[in-house]
Amino acid sequence: MKVNALSLIWLSVIVLVSQFAATKATAFSPFYLDNEEYFMNASEVILIPYDDVQNAFKNPVAVNSQRLSGVDWTRPYPGSPIDGYTAYLEIAHELRFSDSIAENSSTVLSSLTFSIPDSMKKSNGELPPMDPSWYICRYVFISTNSEAKKSVDSGGSCDFLPQQCRSDLITSFTEEWGTRMEGSMCAALTFDPIPYSCFDSFGFAREEATAFNGVTIANATFGSIFMDKEQSQYSWRIGTGYHEPGESPQYGWASNRTYLVATVWGYGPQISSHHTPEVSLACISSGKSYIEPPSSPALPPSEIPISTTTTSPTTTSSAITNHTTSKSMARRNTYGHLSHVPEITEFCLLGLLMMY
């Protein structure tokens, strides 16, 4: 399948996972393993059965949402402002890994989903076609700054960010629009650090970038990822690393994250424009300073009927964080890691930076 060149990783992951899953009886979902500096690396992506993800999100332990400004992209660029775009954050029930991925281990998934204004949807609720003049880039930064979380949870969204930080963010997203990298309009790319002026308020973080246009939105697999608040097989998700099942602190690690979501409402390469793209910033956290661990245990994982190889703790991925228990990592299978799926290893090594 051909999709316009995009400066992203997540869509590349989805294309490859969907191709891989087409050869298997089990439907798989990808997620980033943990909030590390380079969490968006291919080596940090884990594949698990989609049924397990659905079970984990049936009764989320935390749900929150945040409105964000936007434009009507059903009309030619630059469109007109419209209210009603929303970002959603859900934190799932603890998810148990199959022993074929990691023995005696679990994680807590957080998911970001998005919706468009009801007035833009078709009468049947489906997504409308996007005017071909648009090219939209979205960025996600993750903070563990407690003061940032307090501000966001009290209703301040991104008010805690100083004006200089906001200005520098917007500049980084727009100044090199259409010129930063061949094949992409995005001015900022995955792995770029947040501006220095944001360090004190947000903390150091690197961005994860995705991009979409009319071709992406029209695609049955991709469209819902960017514009549907409901959980889907390929929704954006991140875990808390590997932990012993029932280890309650992992709910705290998930709830204490603050997500900065920046959306750049830009134009495509076929448009000659000197108009600087609009940028909307939205910050969202769990809304709870502490999440009580659910009284019911996590559902047992799906068993994956495959042969696996193993690695010792001394050779495991950098995705193992300093709060990962050594017992659960006494034996970790490589199958669950995206970079160890034979069908897509070569593409992962290229960095998953572009897709044609």
Q: Read off the pLDDT of each residue in 102-114 and give the average, rounded to a whole number.
A: 94
pLDDT of residue 1: 33
**What would the two tokens of residue 228 be?**
């549907």
Q: Is residue 62 predicted with pLDDT exceeding 60? A: yes
Q: What is the pLDDT of residues 75-88, one digit of tens each?
A: 999 999 999 999 99
Residue pLDDT, tens place only, 227-278? 889 999 989 999 999 999 887 788 889 999 999 999 999 999 999 887 899 9
Measured between alpha carbons, how far is 187 from 177 in angstroms, rounded to an integer?
A: 5
Each residue's pLDDT tens digit, 315-340: 222 232 334 433 333 334 434 554 44
Chain-centre distance of CA 132, in angstroms? Answer: 25
- In the prediction, which pLDDT does 22 show? 53
What are 119-155's pLDDT values in tens digits? 999 888 788 999 999 999 999 999 999 999 999 999 8
**Taking the alpha carbons of 329, 334, 335, 340 in that order, is the dihedral positive or negative?**
positive
Q: What angle do CA 32, 35, 38 make, to 5 degrees?
A: 80
231, 53 contact by CB (below 8 A): yes
Return the number of other C-beta atoms located less than 10 Å from residue 33's C-beta. 26
Give the separation between CA 207 and CA 262, rounded to whole angstroms. Answer: 10
Size of the chain in residues = 356
pLDDT score, position 297: 56
Provide the CB-side half-sphere exposure for 136 (13 A, CA). Answer: 28
pLDDT of residue 27: 83
Q: Are residues 75 and 131 in contact, defined by beta-carbon separation less than 8 angstroms? A: yes
Average pLDDT for the chain: 80
Q: Is the pLDDT of residue 12 over 80?
A: no
Q: What pLDDT shows up at residue 342? A: 35
- From CA 91, how far away is CA 291, in angstroms rounded? 10
User: Per the structure block, which two tokens stand in for 171?
Assistant: 């500049």
SS3 track for 174-201: HCCCCCCECCECCCCCCCCECCHHHHHH
**β-strands 110-115, 134-143 pairing:** unpaired
- Give the mean model confidence (pLDDT) for residues 102-107: 91
Evaluate if pTM is beyond 0.85: no
The H-or-E segment that residue 311 falls in is: strand 310-311
Confidence at residue 131, expressed as pLDDT on a 0 to 100 scale: 96
Q: Give me the mean pLDDT over the 288-293 stretch.
A: 66
List, in order, residues 6 or more apart from 138 with CB less than 8 Å away: 209, 210, 211, 212, 226, 261, 262, 263, 264
Q: What is the pLDDT at residue 329?
A: 38
pLDDT for 76 equals: 96
Give which of 319, 304, 263 is closest to 101, Cα–Cα.
304
Residue 40 has pLDDT above 80, yes or no: yes
Higher pLDDT, 223 or 5: 223
Residues 6+ apart with CB under 8 A from 34: 44, 107, 238, 239, 240, 241, 319, 321
Q: Quick check: helix, strand or coil at residue 163? A: helix
d(CA 147, CA 248): 23
DSSP, res 158: T
